[in-house]
């Protein structure tokens, strides 16, 4: 007997801003299951410091925001996507205000909010909650999701793979029927049938050795979409945040701590160390100096570090005053002070680190992937908004806008006959004998990506990286086929998938543009297009 697909829940993989936005817009109508592979509080959203774009001020306009987005995106921004999202930015911020998000107030500001400015923006248009905006947003939405009776939050559950037509062996156009999911604590894989599956797993920052991303950012959604037969695009454009706190031998909680772009937006200066004169250096790289887009600032810092043999450069905000810094950047002030750095009296040591994946699974402006029943929202998806480089604070905005349109589309879809879904088969595997294989391959992959596929690239380095990635992939696939799955194994499998997509995309781009800079192709071509990879399974 078949069942109506509307009897099944919507399964959302990921509990950050994108996933929770979708869930809260669906739950009054349909049941929702949200999977979080670690603690519910560990989503990348909670790490976001700067804020969310809102075209709110009288000195601002949709055209201005679109223009800034296009300029940052270096000619590869889809203008229709940028305009669609900019037009909905005020409503997105308003929705978060209605949810009770405690943005920093300003009685004279639009909606009573204080707006700050970040690199690449022509005006102040960033709504923020001091310097911990992501956490303020995530705490509020997570609390709302916990209260909702139709939202089931499953902590420490990880998606293994999507269930598609090839699993149910039906002679029909491909679609998605659900997901195989690992209960990490019970070490048991369950079969979750779904009316729709939403990939909201964030980016793939952990494919690199140094990143501002949390442990959750292992490219799970991108890899699953690719394995299911969906296109991915622009994976060569990996954004390196210019200013990550440099702490030698840092504890895990201090690794990758981001020094928000807003600190430069409020007047922070990038400087060389005192033994080199202690002067600002950005004027030699871009007329916008510290307010240049992230790719330019990151390359400038990388250039100065390599030129002078430095471990880091300095971000000096001492001239802003202690009272201002404590009011506007309390999180940064407290964290640095705990590490012996008083940012009101001394500069902050900073280095670039991987921050954002501009590419992802190709979607439309409703989050729809190539397979019916599958959606991707937030950093997992590629809408064309970010082009070759993401404009600061556009990421949280995209999560809210696409989260809303995704939910609306799911609710509009007609019912489909459900298919009998086979259970997960572990009959041919056994418990892993040695975990050291996973740990070794994880370390090797992240180090080779850092060394060979970093801020500045060469064809020779990329080819070497691809060769080694293919060998690693073979080892990982053998391991995956022989042993029961674990979170570490699944994350490693997804990371090596994303690493190959990044390198293949980078090899296809014979120019330097935005976040992709090649010494072999330093010029920027007069016309360029997104890099789109097509999965071998796409025609199945």
Phi then psi for 187, rounded to 5 degrees? Answer: 55, 50
Q: How far, in Å, CA of 301 to CA of 296, rounded?
A: 9
Beta strands in 221-335 (DSSP E): 232-233, 238-245, 269-271, 313-316
CA distances from 535 to 153, 361, 385 (A): 32, 11, 22
Q: How far, in Å, CA of 247 to CA of 316, rounded?
A: 16
Q: Which helix (H) or strand (E) holds 199?
A: strand 196-199
Q: Among candidates 491, 402, 497, 375, which has minimal Cα distance to 38? A: 491
Instruction: Report yes or no: 73 and 388 within 8 Å, Cβ to Cβ.
Output: yes
Return the axis-axis angle of helices 436-452 and 487-508, rounded to nearest 10°.
20
Enzyme catalytic residues:
294
pLDDT at 274: 93
Q: How far, in Å, CA of 281 to CA of 212, rounded?
A: 24
pLDDT at 539: 41
Q: How far, in Å, CA of 157 to CA of 485, rounded?
A: 12
Residues whose CB falls within 8 Å of the CB of residue 153, separated by 6 or more in sequence, listed in order = 15, 34, 36, 40, 145, 146
Instruction: Report yes or no: 491 and 184 within 8 Å, Cβ to Cβ.
Output: no
pLDDT at 391: 92
Number of Cβ atoms within 10 Å of the Cβ of 394:
25
Three-state secondary structure string covering 83-137: HHHHHCHHHHHHHHHHCCCCCCECCCCHHHECEECCCCCCCCCEECCCCCHHHHH
Beta strands in 120-184 (DSSP E): 126-127, 151-155, 157-164, 176-183
Instruction: Report yes or no: 25 and 12 within 8 Å, Cβ to Cβ.
Output: no
pLDDT at 255: 65
From first to last of its 540 residues, the chain has per-residue pLDDT tens of 334 455 789 999 999 999 999 999 999 999 999 999 999 998 888 888 789 999 998 999 999 999 999 999 999 999 999 999 999 999 999 999 999 999 999 988 888 999 988 878 999 999 999 888 999 999 999 999 999 999 999 999 999 999 998 877 777 778 999 999 999 999 999 999 999 999 999 999 999 988 888 889 999 999 999 999 999 999 999 999 889 999 877 665 566 788 988 899 899 999 999 999 999 999 999 999 998 887 889 889 988 988 999 989 999 999 999 999 999 999 999 999 999 999 999 999 999 999 899 999 999 999 999 999 999 999 999 999 999 999 989 999 999 999 999 999 999 998 777 778 888 877 777 776 667 788 889 999 999 998 899 999 999 999 999 999 999 999 999 888 888 899 999 999 999 999 999 999 999 999 999 999 999 999 999 999 999 999 876 544
Instruction: Report yes or no: 401 and 88 within 8 Å, Cβ to Cβ.
Output: yes
pLDDT at 540: 40
**Residue whose pair of structure tokens reads 């990143």 in the numeric block:** 211
Q: Which helix (H) or strand (E) holds 81?
A: helix 79-87
Q: How far, in Å, CA of 443 to CA of 230, rounded?
A: 28
Q: What is the DSSP string of 482-522?
A: HB---HHHHHHHHHHHHHHHHHHHHHH--S-BTTBEESSS-
Domains (range + CATH), the chain: 1-237+358-415 (3.50.50.60), 245-354 (3.90.700.10), 436-523 (1.20.58.100)
pTM of the full predicted structure?
0.89
pLDDT at 313: 96
Radius of gyration of the chain (CA): 22
Q: How far, in Å, CA of 439 to CA of 426, rounded?
A: 23
Residues making up the chain, counted from first to last: 540
List 456's β-bridge partners, or say none.
Answer: 517
Q: How far, in Å, CA of 178 to CA of 422, rounded?
A: 11
């Amino acid at each position: 007997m078949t069942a109506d697909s509307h009897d099944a829940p919507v399964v959302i993989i990921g509990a950050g801003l994108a996933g929770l936005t979708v869930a809260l817009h669906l739950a009054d109508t349909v049941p929702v299951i949200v999977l979080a592979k670690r603690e519910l509080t560990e989503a990348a959203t909670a790490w976001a410091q700067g804020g969310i774009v809102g075209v709110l001020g009288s000195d601002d306009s949709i055209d201005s925001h679109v223009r800034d987005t296009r300029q940052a995106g270096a000619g590869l921004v889809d203008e229709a996507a940028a305009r669609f999202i900019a037009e909905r930015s005020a409503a997105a911020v308003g929705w978060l205000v209605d949810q009770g998000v405690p943005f920093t107030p300003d009685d004279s500001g639009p909606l009573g909010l204080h707006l700050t400015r970040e690199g690449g923006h022509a005006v102040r248009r960033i709504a923020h909650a001091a310097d911990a905006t992501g956490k303020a947003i995530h705490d509020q939405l997570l609390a709302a999701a916990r209260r909702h009776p139709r939202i089931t939050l499953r902590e420490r559950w990880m998606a293994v793979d999507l269930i598609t037509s090839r699993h149910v062996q039906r002679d029909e156009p491909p679609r998605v029927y659900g997901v195989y999911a690992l209960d990490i604590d019970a070490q048991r894989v369950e079969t979750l049938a779904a009316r729709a599956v939403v990939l909201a797993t964030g980016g793939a920052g952990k494919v690199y050795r140094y990143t501002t991303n949390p442990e959750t950012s292992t490219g799970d959604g991108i890899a699953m979409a690719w394995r299911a037969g969906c296109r991915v695009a622009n994976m060569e454009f990996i954004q390196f945040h210019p200013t990550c706190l440099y702490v030698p031998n840092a504890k895990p909680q201090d690794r990758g701590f981001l020094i928000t772009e807003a600190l430069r937006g409020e007047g922070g200066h990038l400087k060389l160390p005192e033994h080199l004169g202690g002067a600002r250096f950005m004027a030699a790289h871009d007329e916008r100096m510290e307010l240049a887009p992230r790719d330019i600032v990151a390359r400038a810092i990388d250039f100065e570090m390599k030129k002078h043999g430095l471990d880091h450069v300095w971000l000096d905000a001492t001239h802003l005053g202690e009272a201002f810094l404590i009011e506007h950047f309390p999180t940064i002030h407290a964290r640095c002070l705990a590490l012996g750095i008083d940012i009101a009296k001394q500069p902050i040591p900073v280095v670039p680190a991987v921050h954002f994946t501009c590419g992802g699974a190709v979607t439309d402006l409703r989050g729809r992937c190539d397979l019916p029943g599958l959606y991707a929202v937030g950093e997992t998806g590629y809408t064309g908004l970010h082009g070759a480089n993401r404009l600061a604070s556009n990421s949280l905005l995209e999560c809210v806008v696409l989260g809303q349109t995704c939910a609306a589309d799911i609710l509009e879809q007609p019912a489909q006959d459900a298919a009998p879904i086979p259970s997960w088969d572990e009959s041919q595997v056994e418990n892993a004998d040695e975990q050291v294989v996973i740990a070794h391959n994880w370390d090797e992959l992240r180090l080779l990506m850092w060394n060979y596929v970093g801020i500045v690239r060469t064809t020779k380095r990329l080819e070497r990286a691809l060769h080694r990635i293919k060998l690693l992939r073979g080892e990982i696939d053998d391991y995956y086929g022989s042993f029961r799955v674990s979170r570490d194994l699944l994350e490693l499998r997804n990371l090596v998938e994303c690493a190959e997509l990044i390198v293949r995309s980078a090899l296809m781009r014979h120019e330097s543009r935005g976040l992709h800079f090649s010494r072999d192709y330093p010029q920027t071509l007069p016309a360029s297009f997104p890099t789109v990879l097509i999965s071998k399974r796409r025609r199945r």
